[in-house]
């Protein structure tokens, strides 16, 4: 895949990540679990982080960095496990919303990070070979 196509994949992934982040942020109010403080704050904070980091990646300077995408992958993992870690798996709206959005955000973050044509030298494997 050439650099132009890689950039398109990364930008598309980050644009979709922003949409997913907005959904996570609004979901406590849409699915009416905003009365559960741990569920509310988990989604407000996670949604805001995803939106901010995906927006950074869409900027000209951010397009050269992969760390915001990898942090979004970690946020996706948190969303995936949060219903179980917060003992809220019996709240179906919270559980399914976060499991599905967690997977989506992990996939989009990974896709964006791996599609970065500027990422040469930014993985631990690349850095190890640069210092030889």
Token digits for 56?
A: 């950074």
Instruction: Grade residue 102 by pLDDT with cuts at 50, 70 and 90.
Output: very high
C-alpha–C-alpha distance, residues 99 and 61, integer Å: 31
Q: Are 99 and 11 in contact (CB under 8 A)?
A: no
C-alpha–C-alpha distance, residues 92 and 35, integer Å: 14
H/E run at residue 42: helix 37-58
Task: Break the chain into its structural domains and give their ranges.
Answer: 3-130
C-alpha–C-alpha distance, residues 109 and 57, integer Å: 10
Using one digit for the tens of pLDDT, what is the confidence trace for 55-98?
A: 999 888 878 889 999 999 999 999 999 999 999 999 999 999 99
Q: Average pLDDT in the 122-132 region?
A: 48
pTM as predicted: 0.85
Token digits for 87?
A: 């003992």
Among 51, 54, 62, 63, which residue's Cα sits nearest to residue 7? 63
C-alpha–C-alpha distance, residues 93 and 27, integer Å: 9
Q: Average pLDDT in the 114-122 region?
A: 65
C-alpha–C-alpha distance, residues 23 and 17, integer Å: 10
Using one digit for the tens of pLDDT, what is the confidence trace for 20-68?
A: 999 999 999 999 999 999 999 999 999 999 999 999 998 888 788 899 9
Using one digit for the tens of pLDDT, what is the confidence trace for 9-19?
A: 888 999 999 99
Report the pLDDT value the prediction gives residue 118, as an integer from 0 to 100.
62
Report the pLDDT value the prediction gives residue 127, as an integer from 0 to 100.
43
Q: Are 24 and 18 in contact (CB under 8 A)?
A: no
Instruction: Grade residue 130 by pLDDT with cuts at 50, 70 and 90.
Output: very low
């Amino acid at each position: 895949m050439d650099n132009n196509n890689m950039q398109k994949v990364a930008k598309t992934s980050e644009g979709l990540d922003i949409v997913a982040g907005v959904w996570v942020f609004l979901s406590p109010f849409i699915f009416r679990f905003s009365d559960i403080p741990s569920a509310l704050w988990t989604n407000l904070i996670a949604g805001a982080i995803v939106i901010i980091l995906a927006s950074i990646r869409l900027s000209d300077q951010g397009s050269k960095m992969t760390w915001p995408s990898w942090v979004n992958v970690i946020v996706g993992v948190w969303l995936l496990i949060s219903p179980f870690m917060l003992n809220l798996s019996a709240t179906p709206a919270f559980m399914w919303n976060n499991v599905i959005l967690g997977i989506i955000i992990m996939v989009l973050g990974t896709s964006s990070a791996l599609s970065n044509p500027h990422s040469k030298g930014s993985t631990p494997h690349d850095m190890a070979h640069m210092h030889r």
